[in-house]
Amino acid sequence: MSILTEPTTDIETTDRDRSSSGSDWWCIQIDPIKAPEPCTHTVAFVCGIMQTKKPVDPCHLIIVWPERDDEKLLSTAALSQKRGHNPKIVEYQESFGPWINYDNYKLYGGPDK
């Protein structure tokens, strides 16, 4: 999990070759854990934290990958397993919450691990 700083432009959470709802993307569901301090949220997906204009209300963005067997998705899931988070690769559903694709996550400062 990482804390991202607010970019100078809006984050693009769509990919022109994919659905703008995030369907047809893959994410990593984990056993619910409390996010690191100072955040008070509980998260159930591998996500990044985007600081919004309201500093007390960061937006947790679920990180999504375009392919179920994406190398970065698999390595992130393996790291989650080592940390005891019981990861499961699942197809992203809009009901899960806001999302960001992995490439944009990296573009806005998300670390590799």
- Check whether 74 has a pLDDT greater than 90: yes
- Check whether 16 has a pLDDT greater than 60: no
- Tokens 């573009």, residue? 107
- Tokens 């022109």, residue? 16
Structural contact between residues 46 and 30, judged by C-beta atoms closer than 8 angstroms: yes
| DSSP, residue by residue, 68-95 | TT-HHHHHHHHHHHHTT---EEEE--GG
Higher-pLDDT residue of 49 and 108 is 108
Separation CA 50–CA 52 (nearest Å): 6
pLDDT band at residue 1 using 50, 70 and 90 as cut-offs: very low
Separation CA 43–CA 15 (nearest Å): 24
- Helix, coil or strand: residue 102: helix
Q: Evaluate the omega torsion of the peptide bond into residue 32 and state whether it is cis, within 30 degrees of 0.
A: no
Task: Give the model confidence (pLDDT) of 75-86 as tens digits.
Answer: 999 999 999 999
**What percentage of the chain has pLDDT greater than the value 70?**
66
pLDDT of amino acid 40: 76
Q: Domain extents for the chain? A: 2-16+26-107
